[in-house]
Structure 1
Amino acid sequence: MTTTRAPRRLGLALLLVGLAVLTACSGAAPGEPRMTRTNAESRVPFGAFLGSDAAGVAAYPGFEAWLGTDSVAPSVGHTYLPGNSWRDIEIPDPYVRPWADWAAQVPDRLLVVNVPMLTPNEPPLPDDAVRGLLEQGAAGRFDSHFQLLAQRLVTLGASRAILIPGWEMNGISYTHRCEPDPEAWKEYFRRIVGVMRSVPGQQFQFNFNSTRGTDAIPWTECYPGDDVVDMLGMDTYDQPPGQTFDDYVRQPLGLGEQVDFAQAHGKPVSFPEWGLLRYGDRPEYVRAMLAWMESQNAVFHTITDYCPSGVWECTQNPASSQEYRSHYAPS
């Protein structure tokens, strides 16, 4: 799949003006940007994270039925490799095969796979241990694991997957974080991409994926280079810093800077994780996020559907659930 997209942005100010116009036209309350509902061709590919293994695939028909038979169909499957040991990386079959089979059933479905860069990845190891592992990775110590992963992905029918190595690297949640040694992290990311691209039959795309904001380190300090990045992803939930969607756009290294940075580097954007979190059932946030992602012509987005973030299997957000569902209803 090509990542070539229509121009996404002519400056943050112009987009905010455009979103305000959409808000006025749609009848949304002030500060709640909303895209006008049109047809399926205008939609960014979307899905929901429902589970990494076969259980997630089994849940997908229910998600599609909940959206409605005449609604825009979800087309993105999203899975995570666990990262307990290198075996999880080398033999990803339980987490990839079911989703690869799902994606193969319908043309243009996308498969997104989050790939740990280090093991054990959770709970995170201390900084000194991370620093040593990143240095080993940068030196090629772990190349063989990713070569085996790439070969297996091709064999499983996932040769066109969007891969997310070292997601949320600017935070502290995972061993594969960047802050202990940004230079080693960048070189290690480059090695992973180089090794995986060398495998015959692959057509992988690589997503550099941060959390919104600065977190433990500015995500810009971890960017490994345009030649090894196909798109800029950002995981963004309804949580501090900030409280309004405008805060999330304008905060340092927030949604606005993601788009600025992507445009400067000639890359499209994606939103592998998003959802509610700290402020409860807020349909205005769901409205604003859907409008923003479509205004950026994102490669894809997937909402995290377990509680408290979700809108389908999580039943504690009824107003947000209705907003999400109605967004994809027929015009």
Structure 2
Amino acid sequence: MQLNMRLFYLVLYIGMSQLVCAQDFHLTQADRSMPFLNPAFVGAYKGYEKFTMLNRNQWIGSGTQFLTSYGMAEFTAGRSRQNDRAYAGVAASYGNDVGGDSRMSQKSFGLTASGHIPLAKGHWLDAGLQTAIQQRSADFSKLLYYSQWNGTTLDPSVYSGEENDFVNFAFVDAGLGVAYRYEPNQRGELRDGQWSLLTGLSMQHVNKPRLQYNTLSADRLNQKLVAYTCFSLGLNEVSTLQFSLTHLRQGGHTETMLGTLYRIQLRGSSQITNEVSTRLLTTGLYFRSSAAIAPYVSIDFGAFDFGVSYDADLGAAAAVYRHSVELNLAYTFLKKSAFKGSRLR
């Protein structure tokens, strides 16, 4: 049994290595990670500065770890109190994806710039550019091979005869995106019968960077097309229903995610003193085309937002692993800037 499981992990690793040039890591909570996928969404939020962290523990129970972490700090400049003029956004981001016993990792450090232009009251056109330095690395020293079978078990002290010819390398990456959004209210809260729309299209890895995994290979990282749409409908003064659609295409791989979320206001913000923040509870489901369902819940204490989703795989992969957990944490300076006090003019 141990031999068969080790063989499975090795085959799984080889399969992932062959696909890595065609497909990136993904996050379930597309609504929370969209500024990472489409640079036009950087700065497209209510407030001044925003700091976001996402962490995903994937394939729990597979016998090894697959961890993805992502963080972004967003800033805006030139935004007015009436939210009626063009402004700019800028962000710094960090990503780290580590998988398997080989510790095969993808690290990225990126900068994003975006512009936001009002077309009419409530209507916005957004565009953004993103550039990043990515690093790929791996450590094969902890992998076990058939040649290390000692008659009873796989023995790491037995010389395998295999060479670790993986080349650690780095490259410059680039992406761009455009978006349109309709927001009927300046405060962002929808009343009975009101609706809002957010939609965008982006392309990552525009320059198709070269992947030099060893001295013999020189693959190209396929471009990734991302389409996203989110429609929100105000049911009454305190609750909203939200539907989202995310479609990703990279090389020969496609993935579609549907989201249905219900948001209810637990406490409204102060209309006079502005000292009390709105509290919101959000619950719902994400559905992935790869036969997975993910319940989601989050609580918003005004500036502070925390959410968790749990992926349950229902397809063929469920025979090996069933669970993935994803956490998000965000803090937004809603009422005044962390640097200059209130900047809204």
TM-score (norm 1): 0.31
More helix by share: 1
> Could you say which structure has the larger radius of gyration?
2
TM-score (norm 2): 0.30
